[in-house]
Amino acid sequence: MLGDSPFFANFSVDDVAKAKEFYETTLGIKVVEEYGGLTLYNAQDATIFVYPKPDHEPAKFTVIHFPVKDVVQTVKDLKAKGVQFETYTEEPLKTDEDNVSRNMGMTMAWFKDPAGNILGLMQQ
């Protein structure tokens, strides 16, 4: 029934201007301001809508995963831009000294946007 309908994901932030700066400048994502929020576009023009919410509470789960060719190098590159990565001490997400997890058969790392939402890198 909805298989022919385009769909998109969305999540909230507490400050649209900070979110725009982070997603556009720090992460290099195409961002369009519209409908009081932000539309984020990936390389295939799939979208995520980021909307303001005064009583925003950060998601306790990963809201976006970014598949990348080299997680370790991407972590280094983003750290150079001031992005702080999460450290997990318990399995199955336990991270090493580079903030990279090599568990569950995947290489992954996590960081937060300015609103505290969790974002992830996943090696392709």
Q: Is residue 21 part of a domain?
A: yes
User: Which one, of 60, 41, 39, 64, lies nearest residue 121 by Cα?
Assistant: 64
Identify whether the C-beta of residue 13 lies closer than 8 Å to the C-beta of residue 50: yes
Q: Is residue 39 part of a domain?
A: yes
pLDDT band at 36 (very low <50, low <70, confident <90, very high): very high
Identify whether the C-beta of residue 49 lies closer than 8 Å to the C-beta of residue 10: yes
Q: Is residue 28 part of a domain?
A: yes
Instruction: Name beta bridge partners: 13.
Output: 52
Q: Is residue 74 part of a domain?
A: yes
Question: 36 is in which domain, residue-wise?
Answer: 9-123
Q: Is residue 26 part of a domain?
A: yes
Q: Is residue 4 part of a domain?
A: no
**What is the C-alpha to C-alpha distance for residues 35 and 32, in angstroms, rounded to an integer?**
10
Q: Is residue 3 part of a domain?
A: no
Specify the CATH number for the domain of residue 17: 3.10.180.10
Q: What is the pLDDT of residues 71-120, one digit of tens each?
A: 999 999 999 999 999 999 999 999 999 999 999 899 999 999 999 999 99
Q: Is residue 2 part of a domain?
A: no
Give the pLDDT confidence score for residue 55 in this predicted structure.
Answer: 97
3-state secondary structure of 17: helix
In the chain, the number of structural domains is 1
Counting Cα atoms < 13 Å in the Cβ hemisphere of 17 gives 0
